[in-house]
A and B are shown apart, each in its own frame.
Chain A
Amino acid sequence: MNAHLDGNVLAGALRELFTVDITTATGQCVSCGTAGAMGEARVYADAPGMVVRCPPVTRVVLRLVRAPGRAWLDMSGLSYLELQLPT
């Protein structure tokens, strides 16, 4: 499979949808229970869309498709996302 990038690649695409940066958010993999910063996740950013995998087990934790005027976001591989909000 392709070499992966790191979570920084997620930052711009998800900053369109979220009001805060996602790379500093902590996500928990629904499969193995590992929690970590999204900035450290493995990102596969080839078209057709973006795939984010948990580093230990490479299970898909997030998928994003961006089309003109629409986006589809699947986070079913995360059991939670803990976001840092400005105080």
Chain B
Amino acid sequence: MRNSWIIAMRELRERLGSRSFLLMAILGPLVVLTFTYLIFQFGGKEQQKWHVLIVDPANVMDHKIMSKEDPNITYSFATNYVEIEQFADEKRFAPFDAMVEVNEKVLSNKSCFLFYREKPSFTMSVNIRYQVERRLEEVLARQFTDLSVVNFRKIKQPLSFVFRNVYDPQDVKGDLAGWIGLFFGAVIFVFIFLFGMTILRSVSREKTNRVVEILLATVKPRSLMLGKILGIGISAFLQVFLWVLIIGLGLYFMRETIFVDIYDASNQVDGQASDYNQFVELVFDRVQFGVMLFYFSLFFACGYLFYGAFFAALGAISGSESDGQQFLIPLILILCFALYAGYFALENPDSLWTSFLMYFPFTAPVVAMVKLSVGFAPGDEYQLFVSLFLLLASSIGVIAIAARLFKNGLLQFGHTLRFRNIILWLKIK
């Protein structure tokens, strides 16, 4: 173990000294933070600015729409009829992005049409509909009832009918939380792939420049392989730690400064649909980062050991650095399948297949993270530990097999890797 540690420390020093490590450790989380900021900032509030013509021949709306102006939508009113062709072709209508047709019978037939030149974003369409509807409610309340608009809206409010999981009545872990689990699982696999490739390249390079012969004259192949996996794994953990630290600090900073008003309902722009801060709420309130990060670390470590052994063995049995690339394809496909399995688990958290995929070591890290974030039924939490145990046990088994390939393939040079070589080297003790 001492020699494995010496080899691990050399690997670690080499990784820490490389520019790509520093670049990835600092730029990576900054990119994630930037995307997070953009989603927070613009995820729901479409930056489109529209000029909307409301064609209201009966002047039902009385040239009014909202008490407060929407910074992204400007309304103009026309009380004459405008044909669709006219709107489409005539120059005087060119400044308008859309035309809302409010017919004379709108109060009875409750039907409106919006003709657009370019399809509006989801938020834009929600906002226009919402604002026109609110104005028509005012007209309806005034014309047909003695109620105030506020009371009219109370009556008009549809029945809220919510589906909730009996084990999660507060909906702490909803579908959205499942996405966070999938995100954690995907991060595990991205890092496994990136650092797995580092193992493969490192082993191949040592074969190419023949350092491996000197190393094998002092350490056992298994110690060498473990040292490599360990050293590169520590650097991967450091990388993840830096990501968590930078992203965590960034999110905290955003919450305390840029998005401080998101929690204050009174700060919301009047008349705007407030669906956009679901994501913010999800990130800041609903994700249990402590628990997620704890299990993330465990599954990452075991998943990395499991896949890392494959990458190390592949590097060892390759005749050249490029030789291993073709055998990477099945490994990449398995990684892609694992990501898909995570998505499947998100959609079908309680299916038997999901349970199987959570125990299947190739897919366990991502599926377990999704299941963890979606939540287990009371009494089923043990499944997480079974999954972890099976992954760890499989890792040990894979390392033993990979070590044999590593040992027998490491001193084979210049050959073209074939499947029968792999079988042969697996047989040799």
Q: Do A and B come from one complex?
A: no
Interface residues of B (CB under 8 A from A): none
